[in-house]
């Protein structure tokens, strides 16, 4: 009988629909995609462009590797990789409960030119309503600063 009550209680609970937010950030770079990626694309290069201490908690920097940021304050496994991109999620840290993912990519944009694309995705249905605007603005501002720093690094001689 208990299982019937539990089943009925579960059926009565409304399902929360996902509400994914996508933040797309860009910078045009006066350097080839290969040059740009060589300067910013290492999984722990986040140390240079974001100022976050980075170590590999596991792996060698490819798919399945986990980077540990600021002595374990955040952990981010790499879940996909291509020649000039990678995607990660966060399993430990301030955004882990929001299904946060990020993709850093560099695309060719002509001879000796490229474009840095940084895409963030998270489920705002999991973010308390009073924090949604602040979270979105904070992420967009913070990560555009990172993209601008990557641009400067790529264009430096």
| d(C-alpha 121, C-alpha 15), whole Å | 21
Tell me the pLDDT tens digit for each residue of 81-135. Answer: 999 999 999 999 999 999 999 999 999 999 899 999 999 999 999 999 999 999 9
In a domain, 9, yes or no: no
The percentage of residues in the chain with a pLDDT greater than 90, rounded to a whole number, is: 87
In a domain, 82, yes or no: yes
- How many structural domains comprise the chain? 1
pLDDT grade for 157, boundaries at 50, 70 and 90: confident
In a domain, 52, yes or no: yes
| d(C-alpha 149, C-alpha 89), whole Å | 22
Residue 154 and residue 36 in contact, taking contact as beta carbons nearer than 8 Å: yes
Residues with Cβ within 8 Å of residue 150, at least 6 apart in sequence: 27, 36, 39, 40, 49, 116
In a domain, 62, yes or no: yes
Mean pLDDT of 8-13: 47
Residue 66 and residue 44 in contact, taking contact as beta carbons nearer than 8 Å: no
CATH number at residue 141: 3.30.530.20
Residues with Cβ within 8 Å of residue 107, at least 6 apart in sequence: 33, 84, 114, 115, 117
Tell me the pLDDT tens digit for each residue of 41-65. Answer: 999 999 999 999 999 999 999 999 9
In a domain, 150, yes or no: yes
Can you give the residue range of the structural domain that contains 36? 20-155
Q: What is the value of pTM for the model shown? A: 0.88
């Amino acid at each position: 009988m208990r299982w019937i009550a539990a089943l009925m209680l579960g059926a009565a609970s409304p399902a929360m629909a996902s509400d994914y937010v996508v933040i797309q950030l860009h910078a045009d770079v006066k350097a080839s995609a290969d040059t740009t990626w060589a300067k910013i694309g290492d999984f722990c290069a986040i140390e240079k462009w974001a100022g976050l201490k980075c170590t590999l908690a596991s792996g060698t920097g490819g798919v399945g590797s986990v980077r540990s940021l600021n002595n374990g304050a955040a952990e981010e496994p790499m879940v996909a990789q291509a020649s000039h991109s990678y995607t990660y999620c966060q399993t430990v840290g301030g955004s882990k409960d929001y299904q946060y993912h990020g993709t850093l990519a560099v695309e060719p944009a002509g001879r000796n030119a490229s474009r840095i694309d940084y895409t963030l995705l998270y489920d705002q249905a999991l973010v308390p309503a009073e924090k949604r605007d602040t979270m979105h603005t904070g992420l967009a501002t913070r990560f555009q600063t990172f993209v601008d720093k990557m641009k400067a690094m790529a264009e430096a001689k």
